[in-house]
Amino acid sequence: MKKAITILGIESSCDETSASILVDGIVLSNFIAGQQIHESFGGVVPELASRAHQQNILPVISEAIKSSGIEMSQIDAIAYTRGPGLLGSLIVGSSFAKGMAMGLNIPLIEVNHMHGHILAHFIKEKEGINKFPEFPFLCLTVSGGHTQIVLVKDYFDMQIIGQTIDDAAGEAFDKVAKILGFPYPGGPLVDKFAKNGDANKYKFPHPKVPGLDFSFSGLKTSFLNFVKNNLTANPNFIIENKESICASIQKTIIDILLHKLKQASQETGINNIAIAGGVSANSGLRSALKQAEENLNWNVFIPKFEYCTDNAAMIAIVGYLKYLNKDFSHQNLEPQARYNF
Ligand code: KG4
Ligand code: ZN
């Protein structure tokens, strides 16, 4: 019988320290430690993030191995996030991965974080039906740092056909939340309040950007002015209308994303549509995609909630696919804060 391949994935690109064990692409554990320390700062503080990774990395990896039920000696390779991300955060995860791979005398596999978000669609679950996107598919990758439409022809053959020219969609959610006085990261809170609001109560302008590119910085400015003007007229404006403000701005962001995704589908003739990245956890975006599946005859692929935001299972699945290609990495590769694929 063929030997099973066991991969330890390590993710530390931003403010989540995560480790995961995958055996033949099936997830046995996916342990994530968030960092609450950034909440009151309105964004991730890089220096604090690095320090928190340093504290979390050993317990997180130990827990991922322990809860998977495997022995450390069974690990065949270690996959880690090389970039993009915060350099200090990346250094913690990559240095740990290198040291551990050297200690265990096993191969090291570097992974592009954005690759991880996209290939998270191929993580297998032990139980239940595993439904994977068929190639080629379009992937709307929406996170705190990226907003891209990626044409995915194969696991390692991808092309960015549209992207933001300024802020990312996650950044837009977080900035809107900050204006409303919510702690960081505000995206999930906007999502939560939007559920009970009227999405058509307030209107915001859509940017006019050529091709398949996006822009969100203008929306942020118009939202800021909208809130300021309304607060001048009514100091309780946010408290009284929180739900509908969130629902309306969320709808605007989703409409902007969906508009370009539809355009990309029309231009490429591809109906296999996937979403990835932290913002794909947004319930409004998920239901808009499901709606589009019915109305536009799309095959829609939405990752399980826990594989949307940063996690190490998505790094481990890329590691597994690279392992099959014997695509190993040298110990002397340095982390990359900016890292295109
Ligand atoms: O992929 P991710 O975990 O980290 C990056 O690689 O950036 O994405 C984080 C982003 C944050 O901006 C966060 O506010 C946003 O994803 N996010 C959401 C939701 N959950 C996470 N935005 C809107 N609705 C959500 N439910
Ligand atoms: Zn991410």
State pLDDT tens for residues 159-175. 999 999 999 999 999 99
Closest Cα to residue 99, out of 134, 133, 61?
A: 61
State pLDDT tens for residues 74-114. 999 999 999 999 999 999 999 999 999 999 999 999 999 99
One-character DSSP codes across 285-309: HHHHHHHHHHHH--EEE---GGGTS
The third-level CATH classification (topology) of the domain covering 137-305 is: Nucleotidyltransferase; domain 5 (3.30.420)
144-163 mean pLDDT: 97
Best mutation site among 193, 309, 339 for ligand 1, i.e. most ligand atoms within 8 A of its Cβ? 309
State pLDDT tens for residues 171-217. 999 999 999 999 999 999 999 999 999 999 999 999 999 999 999 99
pLDDT for residue 40: 83
Q: b/e per residue, 56-85, with b = 16+ CB within 10 A?
A: bbeebbeebbeebebeeeebbbbbbbbbbb
Q: Distance from the CA of 75 to the center of ligand 1, in angstroms?
A: 30
- Residue spans per domain, the chain: 6-128+308-324, 137-305
Judged against a pLDDT cut of 80, whether residue 123 lies above it is answered with yes
Bridge partners (DSSP) listed for residue 138: 151, 273
Which atom of ligand 1 approaches the CA of 13 most closely? Answer: 6
pLDDT for residue 222: 97
42 pocket-lining for ligand 1 (C-beta < 6 Å): no
The third-level CATH classification (topology) of the domain covering 6-128+308-324 is: Nucleotidyltransferase; domain 5 (3.30.420)
Which of 38-47, 119-128, 268-277 has the lowest average pLDDT? 38-47
83 pocket-lining for ligand 1 (C-beta < 6 Å): no
Question: If you take atom 22 of ligand 1, which residue's CA is the nearest one?
Answer: 187
Q: How far is CA 149 from the centre of its chain?
A: 13
Tokens standing for 41? Answer: 């700062």
